[in-house]
Structure 1
Amino acid sequence: MKREGFKSRLGFILVSAGCAIGIGNVWRFPYVVGQNGGGLFVLLYLLFLFIMGVPVLTMELAVGRGSRKSAVLAYKTLEKQGSKWHIHGWFCMLGCYILMMYYTTVSGWMLSYFFKFAAGVFPAGMSADAVGGVFSNLLVSPMEMAGWMAVTVILGFVVCSQGLQNGIEKISKIMMMVLLVLILVLAVHSGMLPGAKEGISFYLIPSLDKVREVGFGKVITAAMNQSFFTLSLGIAAMEIFGSYMGKEHSLPGEAVRISLLDTFVAIMAGLIIFPACFSFGVQPDAGPSLIFVTLPNVFVNMAGGRIWGTLFFLFMTFASFSTVMAVFENIISFWVDMFGMERKKAVLINGAIILIASLPCVFGYNIWSDLHLIGGRDVLDSEDFIVSNLLLPIGSLIYLLFCVTKYGWGFDNYMKECNDGEGLKFGKFLKPYFQFILPVLILILVIQGLM
């Protein structure tokens, strides 16, 4: 059976960037920037994105494009006989399942808030307690949360059941175009609010006092962390799109485009959030409370807040759903490749698996709220810890070593695949950096994650 490919280059870039653009871009990035000295952090983040994120992204794409297979079979196709690199492919799939066990729930929250704002659940002038109460009521209701999660899962698999070109590429193109328009409209609106200037300067002007207070070393490691995790590397989420790519364009050029699009969304998210928060005297924080408590409080006090809130949560729904679709595609492709299964059958089986596997995260806020797992974390945070602190950095290190050492695919094979096609190319002079310095940088992230 001939492997499907992307219909267009734009489709590949938008689908891949859609996978990278997720909730972390919005609920983590702006807060981490503000916490770590503003503009200086952004510059360090961009530096690490290009010296760490982009190379590892090309490696994951190269393994996909060089093998034309999904996670496990990609390694089996490229590894030397008798070696065991393909075991990592199984961990990649485990990572995709665990990621979807909580990401579908959070994506459901976004969808629920989009409908709540559109339906006028947040009237103008609503009290702060009442705004916070909406989120609390959502969390304590297992039926409501499971309902929104199920809608997300079913929609995601329905799109993927249509195949790469007619399903995920077609829908991603529309969603990403709308997302980019929405983010520009929201950022312009935020920038025109009274007091927006203070928010923008807090966000983007380097604050050396803040850097001294936090410690320069901590700012550097925070920038490394953010630049690396923003691209969702290490669990074959990007590898699968490499396997659908043509050979017309070199991988470094495509990796830079994906990274720039991802960064654009992250930086613009801050230009929406900080001016709005400063304008209404609200302290921006990180995580769910920023999105579901802080920002709705800003919207209910804003002229036309119902419209702005609806548009913001439409943007957030698209940002999270693009990741859901991309990871579902990876899971389905794995079943089709590995077990020779028809796509529709793989969709039905995995739809059921993810629906059931996502329930512990839903119940972790209500029925099982006393359940504390890794280091006293709740269900969602424990699942996130496994993916973000273990599987992503360790997986990235394995992809790196597979591509640059003689025990794996080998540096020359990787470089040949990487530089095939028109566009930006990596030079051979990078070999010592890829073999000795980059592994150490990623190892630092692994150790940090464990600590």
Structure 2
Amino acid sequence: MAREKFGSRLGFILVSAGCAVGLGNVWKFPYICGEYGGAAFIVIYLFFLVALGLPIMISEFAVGRASRRGVAKAYDVLEPEGMKWHRFKWSGIAGSYILMMFYTMVGGWMIYYAYRLATGKLNGLNSDGVKNAFSQMLGSAGTMTLWMLIAILFSFGVCILGLQNGIEKITKVMMAVLIVLMVVLAIHSVLLPDASEGLRFYQIPNFKDMAKKGIGTVVFAAMTHAFFTLSVGIGAMEIFGSYMKKDRSLTGEATSIMLLDTFVALMAGIIIIPACFAYGVKPDAGPSLLFITLPNLFNHMPGGRIWGTAFFIFMSFAALSTIIAVFENILSFYMDMFGWSRKKAVAVNVILVSMLSLPAVLGYNLLSGFQPMGSGSTIMDLEDFLVSYNLLPLGSMVFVLFCARKNGWGYENFLAEVNEGAGKKFPKWLGKYMNYVLPLIIAVVYLKGYYDTFAPMGVKTLVCWMAVAVILLAIIFVTSMKKPVKAKNA
């Protein structure tokens, strides 16, 4: 069967950007920015986005386009004879499933809140009423399951239509609407009374305030968020690389996607932060900012029901575009490994993903007594830890080392693939950076994530889990240093 291909360059960019533009951009970025000093944080974040996120994304695209396979078979196609890189495909497969085990639920939250705002169900509630409405949603397993299933069925419904007729066509519309909504919401936000103070906080770097938080803390927060924001490491980008044509260089295409992803993140901050300042709310309220603080703000705004509905439609599209992209990655496992038809893969995974998503839903109600990451934690916290602090960084390291090391695909082969076609070229002199510096930075991000997670649980727990982290890193580095039997040509 011939490999599907994107119908247009714009389609590839928008679909890939839709995968990257997830809830981390429009949910997490504004409150992290608020917590770590506004514009000063953004400056550092943008630097690390180019230094970390861009080369990893390019690596994923290159592996996909050269192999014409998803992550389940790409290493098998490109690795030298006798090497074991293909064993790492299971981290990509596991990562995609575990991510969807809670992301589909959160996507359902966004759609549900768009419905709530549109139907006026939060109108007239005071701050306690809005807070209770969120708690009631979390306490209702039936409500959360219904809206989670809506997100799953819609997203698989798009995937079953195929690459061009489904994913490309519908994601292009969703992304266009998302961008229009963002611009309209941003204009409205900056025109609110007293919004200028929020704009100054957001746009003018204040390194003195950053120093109060701790420069090292802020730098690491910016580096970590830049690393995670592009959805790299589990093959969600790699699958779209496998559908690319060879007429454009990968560096230029990845740069366009990164710029669009960054635009969405920055615009989300312009929507949220000036509104918070206008109504005297701190923009560092954490995740509760989205479901408690902002609905309160919409209740006090003229036309707040309209603006709130538009905001959560925008959030729904951001979530659904990522879900669709990762679902396509999941479907590719079965189509590439077993030769299944798209329809058969969808039919099996609608049931499988729906069942796997239930523990995260039940973790807020029927299974709330199970607190796997310590007091107050949920099943979603465990799933998020497995993906964000393990499979994404480790998977990213594998992609980078596979592209850079001689016993992997090899830097020369990687460079030839990346630079094929018109557009910006990847510099040859970055080989040593890809080989040594970037993996080291990823390792630091990975170990710091473990430290931050387990240090509050005591020294014994920390030492035990840090040992696990070091062992996992060692497995990857040992694989990357084995001598190849025979080089693989591109």
TM range (shorter): over 0.9
| 1:205 aligned partner | 204
Retained in 2: the 8 A contact 1:57–1:255? yes
| 2:465 aligned partner | none
Deviates more, 1:329-338 or 1:35-44: 35-44
CA deviations over 1:284-314 (Å, ceiling 9, x no partner) = 2354311110100000000000000000000
CA deviations over 1:347-376 (Å, ceiling 9, x no partner) = 010110000000000000000011111345
Structure 2 Cα separation of the partners of residues 197 and 427 of structure 1 = 42
Structure 2 Cα separation of the partners of residues 436 and 336 of structure 1 = 35
SS of the equivalent of 1:72 reads helix
| 1:242 aligned partner | 241
Structure 2 Cα separation of the partners of residues 19 and 236 of structure 1 = 11
| 1:382 aligned partner | 382
Report whether the alignment pairs 1:104 with 2:66.
Answer: no
Q: CA deviation at 1:72?
A: 2.1
Q: CA deviation at 1:127?
A: 0.6
Retained in 2: the 8 A contact 1:102–1:380? yes
SS of the equivalent of 2:85 reads coil
CA-based RMSD: 1.0
Retained in 2: the 8 A contact 1:93–1:235? yes
Structure 1 Cα separation of the partners of residues 215 and 22 of structure 2 = 27
Give 1:284-295 correspondences, 5 Å limit.
Answer: 284-295=283-294
| 2:472 aligned partner | none
Give 1:167-246 correspondences, 5 Å limit.
Answer: 167-246=166-245
CA deviations over 1:16-57 (Å, ceiling 9, x no partner) = 000010111122111111222221211111111111111111
Deviates more, 1:373-382 or 1:66-75: 373-382
| 1:422 aligned partner | 422
| 1:155 aligned partner | 154
| 1:366 aligned partner | 365
CA deviations over 1:73-121 (Å, ceiling 9, x no partner) = 1000000112111111111010000000000000000000101111111
Retained in 2: the 8 A contact 1:415–1:426? yes
Q: CA deviation at 1:174?
A: 0.2
Structure 1 Cα separation of the partners of residues 88 and 164 of structure 2 = 28
Report whether the alignment pairs 1:258 with 2:260.
Answer: no
Amino acid at match of 2:45: Y
Structure 1 Cα separation of the partners of residues 285 and 74 of structure 2 = 37
Amino acid at match of 1:11: G
Structure 1 Cα separation of the partners of residues 286 and 248 of structure 2 = 37
Retained in 2: the 8 A contact 1:27–1:286? no
Structure 2 Cα separation of the partners of residues 40 and 301 of structure 1 = 30
Amino acid at match of 2:130: V
Give 1:23-422 correspondences, 5 Å limit.
Answer: 23-123=23-123, 125-376=124-375, 377-422=377-422
Retained in 1: the 8 A contact 2:32–2:286? no
Percent identity (aligned): 54
Structure 1 Cα separation of the partners of residues 181 and 201 of structure 2 = 23
CA deviations over 1:96-152 (Å, ceiling 9, x no partner) = 0000000000000000010111111122x4211111111111000000000000011
Count of aligned pairs: 450
| 1:11 aligned partner | 11
| 2:432 aligned partner | 432
Segments of 5+ residues of structure 2 without an aligned counterpart are: 452-490
Retained in 1: the 8 A contact 2:70–2:242? yes
Q: Assess, with a 3 A threshold, how the Cα gap between structure 1 residues 291 and 436 changes in structure 2: closer, same or farther.
A: same
Retained in 2: the 8 A contact 1:72–1:87? no
Q: Assess, with a 3 A threshold, how the Cα gap between structure 1 residues 326 and 21 changes in structure 2: closer, same or farther.
A: same
Q: CA deviation at 1:204?
A: 2.3
Deviates more, 1:308-317 or 1:46-55: 46-55
Deviates more, 1:396-405 or 1:34-43: 34-43
Structure 2 Cα separation of the partners of residues 300 and 141 of structure 1 = 24
Amino acid at match of 1:255: A
Retained in 2: the 8 A contact 1:361–1:380? yes
- What is the TM-score of this pair, normalised by structure 1? 0.98
Retained in 1: the 8 A contact 2:102–2:380? yes
